[in-house]
Amino acid sequence: MLFPKEMIFWQFYRKPDIIMFRHIRYYLELPLFTEVKNNLLDLAKKLFISLIFVGVASGLFGQVGTEKVKNLQKFDQQVVHFGFLLGINSGDFSLFRNPPSDSLLSIEVTKQSGFNLGIISALHFNEYFSLRFTPNLSFAQRTVNYQFYSPADTVILEYDKIVESTYINFPLTIKYKSMRFNNFAAYIIGGGAFVLDLASNKDVNNANLQPNDVVLKINKTDWRGEVGVGTDFYLPYFKFAIELKMSYGLRDILIHDNTIFSNPINKMRAKMFLLSFTFEG
């Protein structure tokens, strides 16, 4: 009869590569390492987008330092503005793992691109501050990839769980705009949003289903914090803006229904990057 320490040694002796691989992958997927990796990728993406902003600004306003005729000179003096937005998004999840099990090797999220469309209503407090309500419809998809080790068959089993969402977002944000230079201004925004997922699968019954048929059940509602930057371009007949925004979920949206796919996850939070093009008149 083997004691617990001898059992651990015997398992490591029988399959050292699998045991070591599982624990190394677990520690590398801890929130700290995952957040560092994601932050580096996000920083690279933001730098790339910033270069695009600079290129557009340079093309539209090549004569830096030269006074030009200002378009829409009374635009910021109006109390209320309306418009619409079109955008592309990159949906993601932030996963907080439970301690590793004997069979689970890894969990990874594959990002997918989607798009947004919505309307804009802005209430101006003064030349620099405004309150913005921008309800929009967004389509997003993420794939959660699982790898399990099967001791009986000595093989690695892979499962891909696709999570599709159709969001109705209700963001309320404060916008702070810089002093206008000719027909250009930069701004930052911050606030929160209530999110309703019309494609939520929270009512699916996973009992007695085969692993390939089990779904990740997601709550229908969420609260998110939002922060972003953008540039305003005052054109002759309307104001055009390019905006980059990050939306981060504040609550655990995973429904823990005691399946092999939900049990390894302690918390799951939604995360999305949105590049928008706005038009206001």
pLDDT digits (tens, 9 = 90+) for 11-46: 444 444 444 444 444 444 555 444 544 555 565 455
Q: How far apart are CA 142 and CA 250, in angstroms?
A: 18
Please report where in the chains the tokens 């999110």 appear, as a residue. Answer: 195
Which domain does 172 fall in, by range? 4-280
Q: Which pairs with CB-CB distance under 8 Å and at least 24 residues apart come from 163-166?
A: 163/93, 163/216, 163/218, 164/140, 164/199, 165/91, 165/138, 165/139, 165/140, 165/141, 165/197, 165/199, 165/200, 165/218, 166/137, 166/138, 166/139, 166/197, 166/198, 166/199
* pLDDT at residue 9, rounded to an integer: 41
- Per the document, the length of the chain is 281
Q: Give the predicted TM-score (pTM) of the model.
A: 0.73
pLDDT digits (tens, 9 = 90+) for 185-226: 999 999 999 999 999 988 889 888 898 999 999 999 999 999
Local confidence band at 66 (pLDDT 50, 70, 90 cut-offs): low
* pLDDT at residue 101, rounded to an integer: 75
**CATH code of the domain containing 74:** 2.40.160.20
Q: How many domains does the structure of the chain reveal?
A: 1
